[in-house]
């Protein structure tokens, strides 16, 4: 089956660094991706790890360890606009490519 666990809430102040962890139990799993969703909006793609290691994209970085079934999203130099929900999602199936999402982490950035 597909199960991705992440913390429900995280709070931080502007300029800080925050890490959102994701542990998973997913069969036939090709990689881990991260999405941002503001209230009532469309999820937007942030990062994807197909291989173990760190991927860096501007202020956001993502890490994957397949042996530990674990990944994280690192957000640096936090800004107020980063307040949103963050979802990890496992990619299953090379042909159909289904994404299965975690429950999401609500990040609140305080001034």
Partner 1 sequence: GAVVSQHPSWVICKSGTSVKIECRSLDFQATTMFWYRQFPKQSLMLMATSNEGSKATYEQGVEKDKFLINHASLTLSTLTVTSAHPEDSSFYICSARRGGGTPDGYTFGSGTRLTVV
Shortest spacing between CB 15 and partner 1, in angstroms = 27
Instruction: Give the nearest distance from C-beta 110 to partner 1 in angstroms.
Output: 20
Q: How far is the C-alpha of 34 from the C-alpha of 60, rounded, in Å?
A: 10
Nearer to partner 1, 30 or 70 (CB): 30
Residues of this chain that interact with partner 1 (CB under 8 A) are 30-31, 33, 40-45, 48, 50, 87, 89, 91, 93-104, 106
Residue 98 phi, psi (nearest 5): -80, 140
Complex with partner 1: residue 43 or 63, whichever CB lies closer: 43
- Give the nearer residue to partner 1 in terms of CB position, either 42 or 81: 42
Distance (Å, whole) CA 27 – CA 64? 16
Written as six digits, the tokens of 54 are 């760190």
**Nearest approach, Cβ of residue 19 and partner 1 (Å):** 20
Q: For residue 60, give both structure tokens.
A: 């956001």
Q: Would you say 46 or 78 has its CB closer to partner 1?
A: 46
Query: Closest Cα to residue 104, out of 31, 1, 4, 2?
Result: 4
């Amino acid at each position: 089956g597909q199960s991705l666990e992440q913390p429900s809430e995280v709070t931080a102040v502007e300029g800080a660094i925050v890490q959102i962890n994701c542990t998973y139990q997913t069969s036939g799993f090709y990689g881990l991706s991260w999405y941002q969703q503001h209230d009532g909006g469309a999820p937007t793609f942030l990062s994807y790890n197909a291989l173990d290691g760190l991927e860096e994209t501007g202020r956001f970085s993502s890490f994957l360890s397949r042996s530990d079934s674990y990944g994280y999203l690192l957000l640096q130099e936090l800004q107020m606009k980063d307040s949103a929900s963050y979802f990890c999602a496992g990619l299953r199936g090379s042909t159909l490519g289904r994404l299965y999402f975690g429950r999401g982490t609500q990040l609140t950035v305080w001034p």
